[in-house]
């Protein structure tokens, strides 16, 4: 197994730790950062999420630079991203930091694109690699999650809701990239019309 695929698997392994830390009733102390008080658990969960997000960036860079792109990587990398992001978004709803309707749209798009990927693999034998709109979507989702978990730290002094703004930007790119995937692969449904 090559390094990019190992990084993807590592990202998947981090998800249960992320869940465990956020679901733990123990606060692990609290810290004042940039005028915002954060529980130790939230800070640790955010650090786990950041490490997992960095592995997403690294695995793709290493795979493309060293010509290590594999079908497993094209399948597992977006799946790992979806698992990580959807887990975080579900917790943000639980923590009353993200509206459920926004997260429902994001989850529905993720499931629809995953279904599309499966149909394309079955029919064409090709795995749909992430396109640029999808990469922008993933980046904005991860940034929104980080700032929401950190309760807009560093922006509280100026009362700038960066996490919420990023959440709505990622919602836009989530919808846009979902439409883009279906438009680019509309031929897969040509037998339906």
Q: Tell me how far CA of residue 190 lies from CA of 67, 182, 183, 193, in angstroms.
A: 33, 12, 12, 6
Q: With 70 as the cut, is the pLDDT of residue 121 above it?
A: yes
CATH class of 3-186: mainly alpha
Q: What is the pLDDT of residue 123?
A: 77
Q: What is the pLDDT of residue 120?
A: 83
CA angle 130, 12, 54 (to 5 degrees): 65
Asked which of 25-29, 72-76, 107-111, 115-119 is least confident by mean pLDDT, the reply is 25-29
CA angle 18, 21, 154 (to 5 degrees): 80
How many angstroms separate the CA atoms of 62 and 29, rounded?
Answer: 37
How many angstroms separate the CA atoms of 153 and 173, rounded?
Answer: 24
What would the mean pLDDT of 17-45 be, rounded to a whole number?
A: 72
Domain definitions of the chain by residue range: 3-186
What would the mean pLDDT of 35-55 be, rounded to a whole number?
A: 83
Residue 33's pLDDT band, with cuts at 50, 70 and 90, is low
Q: With 70 as the cut, is the pLDDT of residue 37 above it?
A: no
Residue percentage of the chain with pLDDT more than 70: 84
Query: What pTM value is reported for the model?
Result: 0.84
User: Phi and psi dihedrals of 31, rounded to 5?
Assistant: -135, 140
What would the mean pLDDT of 69-81 be, rounded to a whole number?
A: 84
How many angstroms separate the CA atoms of 78 and 86, rounded?
Answer: 12
Q: With 60 as the cut, is the pLDDT of residue 36 above it?
A: no
């Amino acid at each position: 197994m090559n390094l990019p695929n190992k990084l993807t698997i590592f990202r998947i392994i981090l998800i249960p730790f992320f869940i465990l830390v956020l679901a733990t009733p123990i606060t692990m102390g609290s810290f004042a950062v940039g005028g915002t008080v954060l529980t130790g658990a939230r800070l640790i969960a955010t650090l786990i999420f950041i490490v997992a997000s960095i592995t997403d960036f690294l695995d793709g860079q290493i795979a493309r630079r060293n010509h290590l792109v594999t079908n497993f990587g094209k399948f597992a990398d977006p799946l790992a991203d979806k698992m990580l992001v959807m887990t975080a978004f579900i917790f943000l709803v639980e923590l009353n930091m993200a509206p459920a309707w926004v997260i429902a749209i994001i989850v529905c798009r993720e499931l629809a694109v995953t279904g599309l990927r499966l149909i394309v693999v079955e029919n064409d034998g090709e795995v749909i690699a992430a396109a640029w709109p999808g990469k922008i979507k993933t980046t904005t989702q991860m940034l929104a999650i980080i700032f929401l978990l950190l309760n807009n730290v560093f922006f509280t002094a100026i009362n700038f809701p960066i996490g919420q703004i990023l959440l709505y930007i990622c919602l836009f790119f989530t919808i846009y990239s979902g439409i883009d995937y279906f438009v680019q692969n509309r031929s897969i449904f040509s037998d339906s019309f």
